[in-house]
Amino acid sequence: MDHFQRNAGTAGLAAGVLLIVLMGLIFTLGLRPEEFGDPAKALALSRDKGTQVAAIAIVGAATSALGILLAAGLAARLRDRAPTRATAQLYYAVIGLTALTLDANIRWLGGAVLTGMSDQTVAASAYVALNAVGMGIAGLGNGFTGASLLLVGWAILSTRALPTVLGWVGVLAGVVTAATTVLPPGPLFLLSFVLTIVWLLWAGSALRRPAMAMAAEVRSTIR
């Protein structure tokens, strides 16, 4: 079991690094989150920076896949003491991260199709529908991903199977990520990225340590 958890921890570290790359790709697009609803700007972006948009979708998919492996490792670490929350956070992570990957691919592939249309007026109208679908899927993804982080953070706080501060980071990252579904994009978008990166790197590093050694460290910290 420790071997599986160490591998899951390595996946978490890799996911954290990829999320840093993904954040850089997104924030160098030159389009603010709230501007993705503007057909003219979004289609111009797909046309002029199609390679970067494709890279976002591909790196995002890889990050999600590794994040799910981390969630599986955390479920294994927490299952004995918090079975319901351990299992739920894994299922929620699968749903949330899959939805976020789907949103990125819809925008990549859908945008490529629309920019190739001869009638860009029709393309702009079609983009409004595509963006609405993408936003709905992204909202689902952020909601479930936030709930997953919140649950795993709560489980860590109650079981102390991993460092308590890590549990608080998970709870905070979960609240902020879930809040992006209902609050306007902007500073929360950046904060969600930063907190999730910290969570992935720290959780991955902690999970790589054997359960017995981690438990002893947590007990000594409490004392």
Q: Which residues of 3-40 are buried (b: 16+ CB within 10 A; e: fewer)?
A: eebbbbbbbbbbbbbbbbebbebbeeeebebeebebbe
For 119-142, how does the pLDDT look when each residue is reduced to its tens digit (9 = 90+)? 888 888 899 999 899 999 999 999
Asked if pLDDT for residue 5 goes beyond 60, the answer is: yes
For 47-92, how does the pLDDT look when each residue is reduced to its tens digit (9 = 90+)? 888 899 999 999 999 999 999 999 999 999 999 999 999 999 999 9
Q: Which residues contact 129 (CB under 8 A, 6 or more apart)?
A: none
The closest of 101, 111, 123 to 56, measured between CA atoms, is 101
Q: For 1-10, 60-69, 152-161, which range has the lowest pLDDT when averaged over its residues?
A: 1-10
| Alpha helix ranges (H) inside the chain | 2-27, 39-48, 50-78, 83-115, 120-159, 164-179, 187-207, 211-222
Q: How far is CA 18 from the centre of its chain?
A: 11
Identify which of 31-45, 62-76, 175-189 has the greatest average pLDDT.
Answer: 62-76
Looking at residue 211, what is its pLDDT? 63
